[in-house]
Amino acid sequence: MSENQNTLNCRISRNVLIKAPGLLPMLYTPREIAEDLDVPETTLRDWLNHGAPHSRDESNHIWIDGKQFGAWVDNQRNSRKKSTHQLQTGEGFCMRCNTIVKIQDGEIRPVKGNLSHLKGKCPICGGIVNRGIWNAGSSELPQG
Amino acid sequence: MLDRQNYLKVKLFLKYSREVNGRSSLQISNDFEHLKALLLWAGSQPLGSAHAFNTSLSDFLFQKVVKGLDQAELQNILNTNERFFLWAKAMFPVEFQSIRLSWIMKISVISEGKEVII
């Protein structure tokens, strides 16, 4: 039966991220998988305590499915990736509020070539918000 | 699921290669990658009966693994597998008694008329 305790995010080294997809579809002991991934066995056992997929047999020996473990490592990597937000027209990032805001009273000034500078005010704190924009048109300016 | 005994034999072969034949860490790492193809080919069947498998190793490599490999790399994989079987026959004579030396020597020969997809 499989055991999944704390499902917290673990720090996975780059070396493991590269090697984990090469694990074979078979049951490994913790020592074997630690050797194949070139990590200390204690680190691997720590990952098992943090929710890495594994099972125990009647003798309470731990077995790890290589493919399931590879998928778990991949999942850990993806869950650590920060979600990105594409700024919409008229939006900017206020450094005071530390959030994306709709720029008020925006002015566009050409800088060089297609690059322009949009400068306006934050609707929350009233501070100045700047944004560099490519191919700026009148649509970049917020309404109202 | 792959046969664990096959995996353990491969690991033993790599240890022997490092300690007795003096192969470097990089060579051992490459050998392990080459022998993974052998483990996938055998699946859950013991390597002692490899001569009776339905498809030959080179055919399996052409079907499953060969994408992105050139002819030289394919030849390296087959050569490593040949070295493994020679070692296994010497180390486990009873288990590998049904595998003939002539069969092992044919492993590294790529059949005529087969094209490698690069």
Residue A108 has phi, psi (to 5 degrees) of -105, 130
**How far apart are the CA of A20 and the nearest CA of chain B, in angstroms?**
13
The verdict on a CB contact (< 8 Å) between B1 and A25 is yes
The residue of chain B nearest to residue A37, with distances taken between CA atoms, is B29
Per-residue pLDDT of chain A (144 residues; tens, 9 = 90+): 444 444 556 788 888 999 999 999 999 999 999 999 999 999 999 999 988 999 999 999 999 999 999 999 988 887 766 667 788 888 899 999 988 999 999 898 888 888 889 999 999 999 999 999 887 655 555 544
How many CA atoms, within 13 angstroms, populate the side-chain half-sphere of residue A141? 9
The verdict on a CB contact (< 8 Å) between B2 and A26 is yes
Residue pointed to by tokens 């780059």:
A14
Break chain A into its structural domains and give their ranges.
14-80, 91-140
**How far apart are the CA of A63 and the nearest CA of chain B, in angstroms?**
12
B11-16: Cβ within 8 A, 24+ apart: B11/A32, B12/B91, B13/B84, B13/B87, B13/B88, B16/B87, B16/B91
Q: Is residue B22 in some structural domain?
A: yes
Over residues B70-80, the mean pLDDT reads: 86
Domain range for B50 is: 4-106
Q: Is residue B118 in some structural domain?
A: no
State how far the Cα of A30 lies from the Cα of A3, in Å rounded to an integer. 14
CB pairs under 8 A between A and B: 19
Q: Is residue B114 in some structural domain?
A: no
Which of B2, B5, B6, B40 is the best residue to mutate to test the A interface, defined by the most A CB atoms within 10 Å of its own CB? B2
Structural domain total, chain B: 1
The fraction of chain B above a pLDDT of 90, given in percent, is 56
The verdict on a CB contact (< 8 Å) between B36 and A25 is no
Contacts of B1 in chain A (CB under 8 A): 25-27
**In sequence order, which residues have a C-beta less than 8 Å from that of residue A18 and are 6 or more positions away?**
none
State how far the Cα of A117 lies from the Cα of B32, in Å rounded to an integer. 56
The verdict on a CB contact (< 8 Å) between A26 and B33 is no
The residue of chain A nearest to residue B1, with distances taken between CA atoms, is A26
The verdict on a CB contact (< 8 Å) between A26 and B4 is yes
Let me know how many helices (H) and strands (E) chain B has, helices first: 5, 0
Contacts of B39 in chain A (CB under 8 A): 24, 26
Token pair for residue A118?
A: 């949009």
Question: What band does B13 get if pLDDT is binned at 50, 70 and 90?
Answer: very high
Q: What strand order describes the sheet that includes A104-112?
A: A104-112, A115-121, A128-134
CATH code linked to domain A14-80: 1.10.10
Q: Is residue B87 in some structural domain?
A: yes
Quickly list H helices, chain A: 14-19, 30-37, 41-49, 66-80
Q: Is residue B116 in some structural domain?
A: no
Reported as a single tens digit per residue, the pLDDT across A56-75 is 999 999 999 999 999 999 88
Token pair for residue A11?
A: 């720090």
Contacts of A68 in chain B (CB under 8 A): none
Q: Is residue B117 in some structural domain?
A: no
Burial class (CB in 10 A: 0-12, 13-18, 19+), A58: exposed
Reported as a single tens digit per residue, the pLDDT across A116-129 is 899 999 999 999 99
Q: Is residue B85 in some structural domain?
A: yes
